[in-house]
Structure 1
Amino acid sequence: MLNVRISSLPPDRQTAAKDCRRCIKRRIKCDRSTPRCRKCTIREFQCPGYDAIQLKWGLGVTRIQKPSERSSTSQSSTNTNDADISSAALVPRVGVSPGRDIVPRMDQNSPISITRTPSPTIDRPLVDSYTSAILSRNLFTHFNIKVAPRLTWVDRPDHPWRKVIAPLAQRSRCLGLSILSVAAAHLSFTSSNIPSATATPQSINHRLRDASLHMLNQKINTELANYHSTTDHLSRDSTLIEILATTLVLCYGEMLIPHSTDWNLHLHACRVLIERYTWRNRHSTHPNAAIDFIIREVADIEVFRNIGAFSIEQPFITDALHPRSKSILLDDYFHTFTGVFREITAEERRRYTLSQKVQAQENANQSQPPSPAPIDMAPWRAKVDLAHARASADTTRLITTHGTNTQKWMHSIVRAVYHASLIYAYQSLAPLPEATAEIGTSLPILLAEIEFLTAGPVHSFSHDIFVPLFIAGTECWVDQGRQEAVEGRFRELLAAMGIWCNFSALRFLKAFWGRGEYHRVGGWIPYARENEGDNGPFLVF
């Protein structure tokens, strides 16, 4: 007879905290060996593994509802489709226990009776609602702890992702689903040891994303249908903000998926929605924290998208978005640098357009507008220095309560972004001799800061390295050793951070390194401009 004596097993083996479900069902003592129990394996049973939370069916699961609860929780569910099923995985209400999550989803006509024990096979909706609530909690927690900090230069407990967007997601099923889908996407492409199961994080991401898109489409149709209606103005604004927040979250979700360029589609939609909201509220003086935060987020994404955008996104480069009010929630920590990047890009595009007009009129023998005069780089350097001073002051106040390592990382990030900004300014605007001299000074310092920031384990500022790393890579065209170092750092950060849109920036760098005719200081800019159609959009974020 096949048997496993637990006393004969190695005492130092890894064991689970609970018995496997099959041993529980068979009413035998489980040896709890991981990853599969040996009592199942020796009998060629498929061990179901060890659940962190095991459902135990008994009378304790159900309870008699109060009349007030019964009336408030009864709801019809006719013609349920996939989107409705997926939408059950909503962000849980804060402070509600798992046991209470089940009850509101039970209908008055539920076949479950308080006089019998529920059956896992008959009462499938009860199981689905419970597991859905657990999954929602886990995904929402993952978003707050792992994803939201990657979407901002410097994270803090009262960041608008938690202070503004999370409460909005509690009221919006559409937004809640999009947040859960982003968390699942991040899990899909950062977890190295995902257990094989029917519902992997990637499949969960697809289902939640599709459900969110379905509901988003319904919201957009409602918004368009009510355009000329007499519906309350605040109600219409609330719907539009919900649409905009969901679109922004979906944009971030696509940034986490390797080889996806759908973030560009969502980003364009965000711009259109913001313009619609701004026009509708052009006479309003009331601040709105949610819309201000969303506008700032979209504006920041556009800044780094426009670094590699030329003819296609030209209008968005010069027509920058700005929040309508200065909210205390909109910190300035690194956004001074973001503003400098925006101004540098806009000035480079303006000067290039003017030079093209001059050249075209020369070829046509027409009267010419004056050629762009050589730029005085002193004011531009002053802009970068001012951004550096503000960022240093802001971050010094922020990190006084943090440990020594955190303070060192933060100061190093500030220096890295400062030198990256200087290099970008001189690449884009300065005459070649002046640019060569300045970049020759700043590049070694930038590379040293990157080396310090990536030498140890992943930390809370690792995601901030992508922009300085990209700028450093644009000036490594002559040194294969530096190219390999930049590529290695890119791949390590991509795997750890899960911000896979930056892979398109690495792909761009590798293509540029292989084009010797463009190898000169700032040569990546004409390469990007002349090969934009072939390379496609890239984003360094």
Structure 2
Amino acid sequence: MRNIRLDSLSSDREVASQSYGLRLRWDQGVASRGKLMGKSVPLRPQIKHGVPRTHKQSRTLRMNKHTDDENSPRCQPQIATENSLAVLHTKQNVELVDRHVRQAAHAVLFQHFNHEVASKLAWLDGPKNPWRTLVLPLAQRSSCLRLSTLGLAAAHMSVVSPQDKAALVQIHRNLRDATLCHLNRQMESELKRGVARCDKITEASVLIEIILTMISLCYAEMFIPNSTRWRLHLSGVRTGFDRYDLANPHEKVISQFFIEELDYLEAFGSISTFSSALRRHRPISQHATSDDYFKEFTEALYEITVTERTQDNAFRTGKILAGTDMTVWQDKLTRSYDSVCARIDSAPSQDVTVQIGLKSVLKAQYYACLVYSYQALASEAES
């Protein structure tokens, strides 16, 4: 709909209505009879007879009348009202456009997350991908989680769309800041609930939103070059993990998702952070994960990293260590690979296509761990 600016009308015309209805202009009629028949000029006021008027008096009278009309109370509010309406309409239009642009951008980011990001965050994409079946439905009900998933989509899009990298990184930052504002409020309410000892269901629901939001923030920062904020978010995930009851029977799927994601973040995050003191929340083997075929290689990655940091720390302190026997690591990885392949083959009602996909990803994991072990632990002669 086209908006008509009221301040475009002439100031000496009266607006009969602020709507788009009929507007009557009484001073522009055409006489149909009498002395002025056919003329559009209205009759002039009556002049008293016997009182002559000079040309100067007539001109002064017309000037005073024009000035009085402009300064009349009837005219001034009209101008003020028109100007205020114009400003109001302009502000409303800008807000309306901004809202529609923001909604359109969010729709694009949501679609990118669903089609591209979710598939990258799972070892093998499929109908049971928890980022689609678990995270996205919860994001529809939680503004905090929704903003974090959109920020994650923008961060990933900045990597795959280098031509728009600067703009997408800025969008990610804006969404991240908005997420943190919502997250702070959620954390404050969670702490108050902890003091008030409210019902367990409400407490678990809020904690789930908080932990999922911080997991999304952690992954998003990993896509941003030279960013170290993911460590802060990972620390927040650990803290939320300590407060969450993993034994909750109603949230078994969510508990499993939390366990796996936390261990993945700690294992892969430790690779990119060279620190002699690595903190591990708790081994993944302490928790049951039904269909995570890659947890053994995740554990192997972490063990290789810890061994490398230990050797480096010993070297810095002047200790002499024996060389690492790489056949031990190779045999360990090979046994893990054979064991998981046997589990995949013995899984009931396993689709052939899914089996092939799992084994392909598993083989890639095996060789990746093998290469990483030689780069991190082998001597110069062996590497």
Give TM-score, length-normalised by structure 2.
0.63
Root-mean-square deviation over aligned CA pairs: 4.0
Taking a change above 3 Å as real, the CA distance of residues 373 and 286 of structure 1, as seen in their structure-2 partners, is farther
Taking a change above 3 Å as real, the CA distance of residues 120 and 187 of structure 1, as seen in their structure-2 partners, is farther
1:214-363 matched pairs, under 5 angstroms = 214-277=181-244, 281=245, 287-309=251-273, 311=275, 313-316=277-280, 319-321=282-284, 324-327=287-290, 331-349=291-309, 359=319
Displacement of 1:428: 5.1
1:57-206 matched pairs, under 5 angstroms = 122=92, 125-194=95-164, 200-206=167-173
Query: Which residue of structure 2 lines up, in the alignment, with residue 491 of structure 1?
Result: none
- Pair 1:383 & 2:383 matched: no
Q: Which amino acid aligns with 1:343?
A: E
Taking a change above 3 Å as real, the CA distance of residues 177 and 420 of structure 1, as seen in their structure-2 partners, is closer
Q: In the alignment, is the contact (CA less than 8 A) between 2:276 and 2:313 conserved in 1? A: no
SS in 2 for 1:266: helix
Q: Which amino acid aligns with 1:340?
A: A
Displacement of 1:210: 1.1
Q: In the alignment, is the contact (CA less than 8 A) between 1:292 and 1:323 conserved in 2? A: no
Displacement of 1:179: 0.7
Query: Which residue of structure 2 lines up, in the alignment, with residue 62 of structure 1?
Result: none
SS in 1 for 2:289: coil
Uncovered stretches (5+) of structure 1, i.e. residues with no partner: 1-20, 26-118, 360-370, 437-520, 522-541
Structure 1 distance, partners of 2:333, 2:150, is 38
- Pair 1:417 & 2:365 matched: yes
Structure 2 distance, partners of 1:307, 1:313, is 13
Q: Which amino acid aligns with 1:136?
A: H
Displacement of 1:254: 1.0
Q: Which amino acid aligns with 1:400?
A: V
Query: Which residue of structure 1 lines up, in the alignment, with residue 180 of structure 2?
Result: 213
Structure 2 distance, partners of 1:220, 1:168, is 17
Q: Which amino acid aligns with 1:383?
A: K
Displacement of 1:285: 5.9
Displacement of 1:266: 1.4
Structure 2 distance, partners of 1:342, 1:189, is 26
Q: Which amino acid aligns with 1:296?
A: E
Structure 2 distance, partners of 1:188, 1:310, is 26
Structure 2 distance, partners of 1:224, 1:154, is 37
Q: Which amino acid aligns with 1:335?
A: K
Query: Which residue of structure 2 lines up, in the alignment, with residue 51 of structure 1?
Result: none
Q: In the alignment, is the contact (CA less than 8 A) between 1:340 and 1:387 conserved in 2? A: no
Taking a change above 3 Å as real, the CA distance of residues 286 and 357 of structure 1, as seen in their structure-2 partners, is farther
Structure 1 distance, partners of 2:246, 2:109, is 37
Displacement of 1:351: 6.5
Using CA pairs below 8 Å that are at least 6 residues apart, which structure has the higher relative contact order?
Answer: 1
Query: 1:332-371: CA deviations, max 9, x gaps?
Result: 2433321222233344555676788894xxxxxxxxxxx9
Structure 1 distance, partners of 2:278, 2:252, is 29
Structure 1 distance, partners of 2:260, 2:179, is 23
SS in 1 for 2:104: helix
Q: In the alignment, is the contact (CA less than 8 A) between 2:151 and 2:173 conserved in 1? A: yes
Structure 2 distance, partners of 1:412, 1:282, is 32
Q: In the alignment, is the contact (CA less than 8 A) between 1:254 and 1:260 conserved in 2? A: yes
SS in 1 for 2:352: coil
SS in 1 for 2:299: helix
Displacement of 1:211: 0.8
Q: Which amino acid aligns with 2:168?
A: P
Q: Which amino acid aligns with 1:320?
A: P
Between Structure 1 and Structure 2, the one with more helix by share is: 2
Structure 2 distance, partners of 1:216, 1:413, is 35
Give TM-score, length-normalised by structure 1.
0.46
Structure 2 distance, partners of 1:428, 1:186, is 28
Displacement of 1:413: 5.2
Q: In the alignment, is the contact (CA less than 8 A) between 1:307 and 1:345 conserved in 2? A: yes
Structure 1 distance, partners of 2:305, 2:285, is 16
Q: In the alignment, is the contact (CA less than 8 A) between 1:188 and 1:202 conserved in 2? A: yes
Structure 2 distance, partners of 1:142, 1:343, is 35
Q: In the alignment, is the contact (CA less than 8 A) between 2:152 and 2:220 conserved in 1? A: yes
Q: In the alignment, is the contact (CA less than 8 A) between 2:123 and 2:361 conserved in 1? A: no
Aligned-pair identity (%): 36
Structure 2 distance, partners of 1:202, 1:390, is 42
Displacement of 1:172: 0.9
Displacement of 1:300: 0.8
Displacement of 1:426: 4.9
Work out which of the two has the higher radius of gyration on C-alpha atoms and give 1 or 2: 2
Displacement of 1:124: 5.1
Number of residue equivalences: 295
Uncovered stretches (5+) of structure 2, i.e. residues with no partner: 4-88
Query: Which residue of structure 1 lines up, in the alignment, with residue 8 of structure 2?
Result: none
